[in-house]
Chain A
Amino acid sequence: MKIIVLLKRVPDTEAKILINQEGTGIREDGVKFVINPYDEYAIEEGLLMKEKIGGDSKVTVVCMGPEEATEVIRTALAMGADDAVHIADGALSYPGPFTTAAIMAKAIRDDGFDVIFCGKQAIDDDMAQVHCILAEMLDVPQVSVATTFELSDDAKKAVVGRRIEGGDEKIETSLPAVISCDKGLNEPRYASLPGIMKAKKKEIRKKSLADLGFSEVPGGGRSRILKWLPLSKGGECRMIEAEETSDAVRELVRLLREEAKVI
């Protein structure tokens, strides 16, 4: 079984994100980068599947990102992934979903695959599109935002649970398929010390666009960024104070009804 896990390097959830001076992107100085948090569930699900099926099953990480992404790839390898493909090319900056999907589709098709796990979205551009576009390009089904994953005994099908508005939906899919993973799917393991040592010897195959057979960036030029906008500073908070808590609460209820008109 060839299990692929897609990985992205993103700013830490704790990071304060500021617009750079030129207004063309974010300030990266002082920002810590980590594995996209949802991708950790994808790695774990890939490893669980490998452990369940055994044999010559293999988990391959595919990551597109700058040189520095090697660090998050090593982390995934330390968790237990077997090897990795790292697509890095100077021509790629802020790639859109079609660009990412087209490049990954090529890399994955070259290698072959039985299932692809990825995070439900990357917490930088928050598009949640790549996995669907990739599935279309590879002509396989996708199931988005998985919170449960049950593989059939013959490993040819899976029942995937996903949380939708007002309920839990079960989707039955044949494999190969692309599954995007949400928090709650599993408990991602930590990299162990022996895992970290082993990871140093695992193979990371570096690929440029040319290595993948592209003479230019595919799927680009579809949109243009007009402006990066900071958050509007929230208005002043009206602190409601009174001798008795009940008086403060009564005033709050009045304000919510008469001023804010929300109840």
Chain B
Amino acid sequence: MSGDILVFGEIRNGELKKVAKELVHGAMTIADGTGGSVDALIIGTGAEAEAAKLAGLGVRKVAVVDDEATANYSPEGYATVLADLVKEGDYGYVLLGATSMGRDLGARAVAKVDGVMFSDCVELGFDGGTVKVKRPVYSGKLYLEIAPTGGRPVFMTIRPNNLPPAAEKDGGGEVARRASGIDLAAIKAIATEIVPLAGGRPDVTEADIIISGGRAMKDASNFKLLEELADLLGGAVGASRAAVDAGYAVQPIQVGQTGKVVNPKLYIACGISGAIQHLAGMRTSKVIVAINKDSNAPIFEKAHYGIVGDLFEVVPILTEEIRKIL
């Protein structure tokens, strides 16, 4: 097994996910340690057009797979393409984004090559001749620093927004088309349809800014206040479990232990008390703002900035003030 690293560049709607450039950064860290090279794989419709985005980052070779069998996502199909390339290229390391697709196909592919995988890594380093990662366990209540024992391919899924994107470098890498080698008729599970989210807002797991509401929102219609602010900032709207259970918000935007784990640059918690399950889902946000009537709410212990006040008074002013400066 070599010290080379393969980065999986995920595309959705024909566009490369931004985490791909962060993965290249992580891959370069490993390459510095092993002396190996960084290659990339992009699968799906539009792969070739997006390949240039990675080829300019000091990547040696970008393999592009775009044929009939890979037009729609299939866990087995995509995992087969990835595993075949890992075996053929004798890659020692594989990096994927910790996304719906990356986590799903990564775990299937690592089984195919009998490797080892670390999920949801937030830090990645290389010293003493080995890669080591830091990853949250117990829903983010603790972290584990963990390393492979060696001798088999190491897969890692990396949470978006944790590593900086790789910098552009002179001299583009080679882009090479590759056949999937998959028989579409043999695929047993395949995506047939994707219905985009209504409202055009980013998903909470991908948003740079999240405006979140809790039980104090009092009613579903009051989430309009948060939506207005989120739209102004190009952000997403989130909710605590209490707000979802009360029927004020839908489950897919729930942030916390039984909802989504988010990692935005800015998280504004409005009327959220900060139950341990909620904190587990948002504590890694870069900047946390808490707005709450209760100055003893636990959310203030995790927040960077706090305002004690009624969200129905504070949020509209906040929206107006931000509108003025944008």
Q: B273 contacts the other chain (Cβ, under 8 Å)? A: no
* Complex: chain B residue closest to A229, CB-CB: B143
Expressed in whole angstroms, the minimum distance between the Cβ of B188 and any Cβ of chain A is 4
A26-B119 contact in complex given A167-B196, A263-B233, C-beta closer than 8 Å: no
Which A residues lie within 8 Å of B53 (CB)? Answer: none
Q: What chain A residues lie within 8 Å of B313 (beta carbons)?
A: 245
Instruction: State the main secondary structure of chain A at its contact with B.
Output: mixed
Residues of chain B at interface, number, CB under 8 A: 90
Contact digits for A124-139, partner B, Cβ 8 Å, 1 yes 0 no:
1111110111011100
Q: Do the beta carbons of A133 and B306 come within 8 Å of each other?
A: no
Is the CB of B60 closer than 8 A to any CB of chain A? no
Report chain A residues within 8 Å CB of B136.
Answer: 126
A172 to B304, CA, bound (A): 45
Question: Given A168-B195, A239-B300 in contact, is the A228-B144 Cβ separation under 8 Å?
Answer: yes
Could you tell me if B116 and A165 are in contact, using CB atoms closer than 8 angstroms?
no
Which residue of the partner chain, among B258, B303, B325, contacts A183 with CB atoms under 8 Å?
A: B258
Decide yes or no: A37 and B258 within 8 Å by CB, A167-B194, A231-B142, A237-B305 being known contacts: yes
Inter-chain contacts of B145 with A (CB < 8 A): 225-229
Q: Give Cα A238 to B149, complex, Å.
A: 44
Contact of B306 among A13, A38, A165, A238 (CB under 8 A): A238
Given contacts A37-B258, A162-B100, contact A240 B107 (CB under 8 A): no
CB proximity to A under 8 Å, residues B179-193:
188-193
The answer to whether B137 and A142 have CB atoms under 8 Å apart is no
Are B138 and A11 interface neighbours, CB within 8 A? yes
Q: Which of A133, A171, A245 contacts B192 (CB under 8 A)?
A: A171
- B192 to chain A: which residues have CB within 8 Å? 159, 170-172
Contacts of A228 in B (CB 8 A): 142-145
Per-position contact with A for B66-86: 1 when CB-CB < 8 Å, else 0?
A: 000000010110010000000
Docked complex Cα distance between A241 and B314 (Å): 12
Partner of A171, one of B191, B301, B302, B317: B191
**Does A19 count as interface, using CB distance less than 8 angstroms?**
yes
> How many pairs of residues, A versus B, come closer than 8 Å at their CB atoms?
257
Q: Are A221 and B149 in contact (CB under 8 A)?
A: yes
Kindly name the residue among A227, A240, A263 whose own CB sees the greatest number of chain B CB atoms within 10 A. Answer: A263
CB distance from B255 to the nearest CB of A (A): 12
Residue of chain A at shortest CB distance from B259 = A183
Measured CA separation A132–B257 after assembly (Å): 22
Neighbour of B138 across the interface among A26, A166, A239, A240, CB < 8 A: A26
For the complex, give the distance between the alpha carbons of A240 and B101 in Å.
Answer: 41
Residue in B138, B141, B209, B290 whose CB lies within 8 Å of A237: B290
A126-B119, A141-B76 as given contacts; A249 in contact with B314, CB under 8 Å: yes
Cβ contacts A to B, 25 pairs, < 8 Å: A17-B138, A37-B257, A38-B258, A123-B257, A126-B137, A126-B138, A127-B119, A132-B111, A142-B104, A164-B101, A165-B99, A169-B73, A169-B100, A223-B149, A224-B146, A225-B145, A226-B147, A229-B142, A237-B302, A237-B305, A245-B307, A249-B307, A249-B321, A253-B318, A260-B305
By Cβ-Cβ distance, the 6 closest A-B pairs, closest first, are A132-B107, A141-B189, A173-B189, A136-B111, A222-B116, A164-B100
